[in-house]
Amino acid sequence: MWQYSINPLSAEAKKIVKRYSSIPDLPDAIFELSKKRILSKKLDTATLGSVEDTLSLHLIFLSAGLLFTPYSVEVRFVKEMVYKSTRKKLENIESELGATRLLRQLADKFNITEGIYDRETETLHLGEEVFDKKEIFAESQSPDKIRGGRGTVDMQKSRGVLDGIRDRKYGVPWKTFLPLLKHKEMRLTDWYIKGGLVLVSLLDLIELYSRLVAVEVFEYISKIYTRSKGVEIDERIKEIASALTEASKERFRAASFASGKAKELSFENFPPCISTVMNGVTSGSRNYGISVLLTSFLSYARIAPPRVDNPKISDFIKDEKILTEEIVPLIYQAAERCSPPLFDDQPQEKMNISYHLGLGLTKDIRLENSGASKWYFPSNCEKIRREAPGLCRPDDICRKIKNPLHYYFIKST
């Protein structure tokens, strides 16, 4: 029971869905439950039986895949809720039933090796690999390095989780985390690895498992999207989709222009480095100046999103013309002013510009691609001086700020 109530895409859960594969035959109560869970922003339902729990989740996944693109705010909302509910359930298992039961639960995704600690030498033995004291008791490296991080954990409520931060004594093959690496949810360079094993604690295992489930759900929804063109959609599925739009709009778009700073660009308020790039730069600074610095600066200056984790352009604007008729043309014009023109000998830089806008490696500037890559924040002044020193021509305001975007907003107020 635990396996498929925790992981909605486990083998057991898929068997349940297969038994109830005819959408029209499902009772209305399951559809109502799906909407209720969405609008409450909680996909975890501790009091429900596993069948209802699983079916209502799969209706949500189906609605997201049939009616929204994979990088829409609706799909992002589902992924986030799956992550949070999975993590909450795992934390409850650890605190109520102990580490042994938790490790048993995680075994469907993780091949876990538990280490043996040698107090005399203060080393941890994981198979043939030995980790020293510095590696075992280092300050918690992982939660802050994984998107979402430690902030969702109540450290005072779970002694086992608290101990897990200090004491890393489990090893998991690094290839287990390939899906997270693919989706840029983690970096191997942030972890201790020996003999192909990543050193982790119980807290790390909870976090990584939750992320893996969320990524698996995202890929599952993406497959539905690509395979269901032209499919007739049940009206009750559309109602679930409407609930997703309502909930995700509140979650991701409520603060879209709350700062009051989003408005048409004021060229007279650009910092010196940006003005320099806008007028065209030479070959030594073209790629960085246009594709990295100018692209990120113009998009953030025009859209002015509030500071949130992992922002997407589509979270803050609905009109694609802001991209296609305001931001991108300015970037392309600056690229043409370069010496030589950037796209003449490096046409692939158009894809790099799209990538830095968070639209993925494509020349197709479409708002629906938002989230295919990271939306890059403008480089700090220190990095600009390091990467392209010729662009840095500071004035009095520059000496008071650390980022060209701050310069722009100071002058614009």
The upper half-sphere exposure of residue 143, i.e. CA atoms within 13 Å in the direction of its Cβ, equals 24
Question: Is the separation of the CB atoms in 304 and 313 below 8 Å?
Answer: no
Final residue of a structural domain among 221, 240, 259: 240
What is the spatial distance between Cα 36 and Cα 300, in angstroms, rounded to a whole number? 35
Residues 289 and 218 in one domain: no
Work out the percent of the chain whose per-residue pLDDT is above 90. 34
pLDDT digits (tens, 9 = 90+) for 369-390: 999 999 999 999 989 999 999 8
Residues 214 and 80 in one domain: yes
CATH number at residue 28: 1.20.930
Residues 191 and 279 in one domain: no
Residues 74 and 195 in one domain: yes
CA 175 to each of CA 181, 182, 195, 226, 409: distance values in angstroms, whole numbers, following the listed order: 9, 11, 12, 27, 44
Q: Is the pLDDT of residue 225 over 80?
A: yes
Residue 300 lies in a domain: yes
Q: Is the pLDDT of residue 320 over 80?
A: yes
pLDDT digits (tens, 9 = 90+) for 333-358: 999 999 999 999 999 999 999 999 99
Residue 108 lies in a domain: yes
* Averaged confidence pLDDT in the chain: 81
pLDDT at residue 113 in the model? 80
Residues 387 and 348 in one domain: yes
What is the spatial distance between Cα 290 and Cα 354, in angstroms, rounded to a whole number? 12
Structure-block tokens of residue 176: 């287990």
Q: How many domains does the chain have?
A: 2
Residues 300 and 217 in one domain: no
**Higher pLDDT residue, 205 or 52?**
205
Q: Is the pLDDT of residue 147 over 60?
A: no
157 pLDDT tier (thresholds 50, 70, 90): very low
Structure-block tokens of residue 91: 């934390």
Residues 186 and 303 in one domain: no
pLDDT at residue 145 in the model? 40
Q: Is the pLDDT of residue 105 over 80?
A: yes
Residues 173 and 50 in one domain: yes
Q: Is the pLDDT of residue 46 over 50?
A: no
Residues 367 and 218 in one domain: no
Residues 204 and 280 in one domain: no
Question: Which has the minimum average pLDDT: 66-70, 143-147, 306-310?
Answer: 143-147
Contacts of 174 (CB under 8 A, 6+ apart): 188, 191, 193, 196, 197, 198
Q: Identify the domain containing residue 145 by its residue range.
A: 2-240
